[in-house]
Chains A and B, each alone.
Chain A
Amino acid sequence: MLSEFSAIQGRSSGYWKLVALSSGVFLLGLGAFLAIEVRGHGITGMNNQVVWGLPHVFAITLLVMASGALNLGSMSTVFATIQFKQFTRFSAFLSIVLLIGGLTVLLLDLGRPDRMLLPMLYMNFRSMFTWNVFLYSGFMILCLLYLWSMFEYKQFTKVVGSTAFAWRVILTTGTGSIFGVIHARDVFYSAITGPMFVAVSLTSGTALSTLLLVGTYQQTKRHLDDKLVFGLRNALIFFTLLVGYLFVVEKFTKFYSPAFYEVETWLLTGPWAWLYWLGVWGGCVIFPLVILFHKRLGNTVKGVFIASIITVVGAFAFVGHNLLAGQAYPFDMFPGYQLSSVFLDGQDAHYLPSVVELVLGLGGIGLSALLFLLGIRFFRLLPAKAVPPPGWELPWSP
């Protein structure tokens, strides 16, 4: 029998320290935004070659994870994975707070944030950005309705939850397609970029949910059954294998065409190769799988926790590599020629993020964290005691 939902007490000094920390980080992020607003993007590391920098990496990763955070809800509502039903409220709420954090950073990094409402007034339906405005706002509304239905109108949960599931797949495909549709950039342009973003949202969302569940239950000294964590581990394993599969397919397809030899060789051996091998392959696929399949580590909550941290870091690396390496690779405007100019044509673009960008990006995480902390204190989002339903057994373990 599932236990009653209850908000955490939130009276401990540890809780308030976390609230103060996340508030502080968010306020610092606002300070960074004001500094950029007053002095211009000249104080960032961005330039006319790398026009989207660290704030975009933070923003897009948060948005990818926002979609993935709905995993537990979707698994329960759409795929009848009953052991996770007790986490559906948490799942929908986490999606909302991550979405808010990501969108805030995205908007505050605009060159003219004072005009942020203009995309609502002058829409260009050919732009992926315009589609994403609808996809993000629609997803937010659906998550709120999903949450509301779980609290008040349970008869609508299935419909709203299923719609939210379909929406999140389209949403993350849309996020990936911001890059995937850009024909001019050899690194970005691929039909599989969108699905790769969806797969990474599945891993990172599951990993972040695991981290927050384990952390919250441990810190509040409430009971979270290990079997549930291992159930999440199993899901994480399959999602990670899916990510690895798509990475291989993408590279295989690109390497099959001689037209892509140069750019692909550059990606695997060039200045951003460290991030590709260590962050993208290591963080998104290899390290988590090694831990999760390990006989001893994979069967401990600690091991799953560590693998989840690496997966979340891997998601940042995946987005960062796509974004930064994709812009750093020089345009091949005249195939067969080496280019040079005062505008740095033909050169690998250099990008060194500034502290102010880092702080702006972290500000988004601070905002999401703050909203999450307040949410679990004021709403009944989590069961007082998280145990598997009677008769449910873990199907398999590595």
Chain B
Amino acid sequence: MTMDRRSVLGLGGMLAAGVLLAPGLRLVAAPEEATEASDKRRWAMLIDTNQCDPSCTSCMKACRVENNVPLFGDPKRDIHWIRKVELRPKDGKGPDRSLPMLCNHCENPPCVHVCPTQASFIRKDGLVLIDMHRCIGCRYCMIACPYKARSLVYNEPPESASHNRKVPRRAMGVVEKCTFCVHRLDEGGQPACVEACSNEGKGGMLFGDVNDPNSAISQKLHQVLSTTIRPDLGLKPRVHYQGI
């Protein structure tokens, strides 16, 4: 096989560019420890509904700011990663309840099962996330989720001056939901809703690693009577509720 001078120069140029660019790419990559999820962790949340004030929406507000979740002014199409749900006993017996609802990051997530492109996936540490670049907007996950935790972006999101750059810009036509503030977890932090509840509310949200027996959430889950939503579905949700 013979190669002409132009081919040799082209290949050489490409090789040189590759050699030069590769370290650069490595330099801009985030440190491995911060982004690599560990399969030894299992994030979970415990919500004490006795501590949840019906008039308090600090968790919702914090989530909107942290994750740039816009409000379009249309209740039917607004995006909600977390919402407050009011419960009133149908038979009138017993107290009303108020509690936050969000993605339950199930162990057996139906959204992941039905997603045709694997855009919905389970990360090593059990977080159920969406690859926004792979979602085709078929909405089957929204049909399958029993917690109504997902929203489709129906309209072009408005520009915001206070955009949190750690959260990717959302695109119209894809489905999204709560990530347990994955960007904060990867930096060793807590979800914004939990932090807000602790600072502005009564601290009714507890978050942590249930694989760590010494974590506060592990110990509390052993001490108190808690339940999950629709346990009959066998999804093994990781958001636990106390007081209902």
Is B216's CB within 8 Å of the partner chain A? no
The answer to whether A337 touches B90, judged by C-beta atoms less than 8 angstroms apart, is: yes
Measured in the bound complex, the distance between the Cα atoms of B74 and A350 in whole Å is: 13
B35 at the interface (CB under 8 A from A): no
| B151, CB-defined interface residue at 8 Å | yes
Docked-complex contact A118 and B136, CB < 8 angstroms: yes
B80 touches A342 (CB 8 A): yes
The B-contacting residues of A in range 296-355, CB under 8 angstroms, are: 327, 331, 333-334, 336-346, 350
The residues of B with any CB-CB pair to A shorter than 8 Å are 72, 74-80, 83-91, 97, 101, 110, 113-119, 134-140, 142-148, 150-156, 171-175, 229-230, 233, 244
A285 to B33, CA, bound (A): 63
Q: CB-defined interface of A37-53 with B at 8 Å, one 1/0 digit per residue?
A: 00111100011110110
Q: Is the CB of B136 within 8 A of A119?
A: yes
In the assembled complex, A144 has its CB within 8 A of some CB on chain B:
no
Interchain CB contact under 8 A, A111 and B101: no
* B137 and A111 within 8 A (CB): yes
Known: A112-B136, A185-B143. A47 touches B118 (CB 8 A): no
Asked, given contacts A115-B136, A336-B89, whether A52 binds B143 with beta carbons under 8 Å apart, the answer is yes
Taking a contact as CB atoms under 8 Å apart, the answer to whether B77 and A48 are in contact is yes
B137–A110 contact, CB under 8 A? yes
Q: A41-B152, A48-B151, A119-B117 are in contact. Are A184 and B76 (CB under 8 A)?
A: no
Known: A40-B155, A185-B143. A343 touches B117 (CB 8 A): no
Q: Is A182 an interface residue (CB 8 A)?
A: yes
The docked-state distance in angstroms from the alpha carbon of A116 to that of B134 is: 10
Contact in complex: A51, B139 (CB < 8 Å): yes
Interface size class on chain A is 35 or more
Complex-state Cα separation, A209 to B171, whole angstroms: 43
B173 with A338: CB separation less than 8 A: no
Bitwise interface map of A from 117 to 145 toward B, beta carbon under 8 Å scored 1, else 0: 01101111011111001000000000000
- Contact across chains for B115 and A127 when beta carbons are under 8 A apart: yes
12 contacts between A and B (CB under 8 A): A41-B173, A48-B76, A110-B136, A119-B117, A124-B115, A128-B114, A183-B110, A184-B233, A333-B146, A333-B230, A338-B90, A345-B83
CB distance from B27 to the nearest CB of A (A): 30
Chain B residues whose CB sits within 8 angstroms of the CB of A119 once the complex forms: 116-117, 136
Q: How far is the CA of A344 from the CA of B77 in the complex (A)?
A: 10
Q: How far is the CA of A46 from the CA of B153 in the complex (A)?
A: 11
B103 to chain A, nearest CB (A): 13
In angstroms, Cα B77 to Cα A116, docked, is 24
Dominant SS at the A interface? loop
Which A residues are CB-close (under 8 A) to B116? 119, 123-124, 127, 129-130, 133
Given A182-B144, A333-B230, A337-B89, A127 contacting B113 (CB threshold 8 A) = yes
Given contacts A51-B152, A119-B117, A184-B145, contact A345 B139 (CB under 8 A): no
Q: What 7 pairs between A and B have smallest CB-CB spacing?
A: A111-B137, A111-B173, A184-B146, A47-B76, A129-B116, A42-B155, A42-B154
Q: Tell me which of A48, A118, A130, A341 contacts B142 (CB under 8 A).
A: A48
Query: How far apart sit A110 and B117, CA to CA, in the bound complex (Å)?
Result: 13
A337 touches B144 (CB 8 A): no
Q: Shortest Cβ distance from B149 into chain A, in angstroms?
A: 10
Out of B83, B134, B138, name the residue touching A343 (CB < 8 Å): B83
**Least Cβ–Cβ distance between B146 and chain A, in angstroms:** 3
Q: Are A47 and B110 in contact (CB-based, < 8 A)?
A: no
Kindly identify which residue among A40, A115, A327, A334 contacts B229, using a CB–CB cutoff of 8 Å. Answer: A334
Contact A182 B143 (CB under 8 A): yes
Contacts of B136 in A (CB 8 A): 110-113, 115-116, 118-119
Is A124 within 8 A of B118, CB to CB? yes
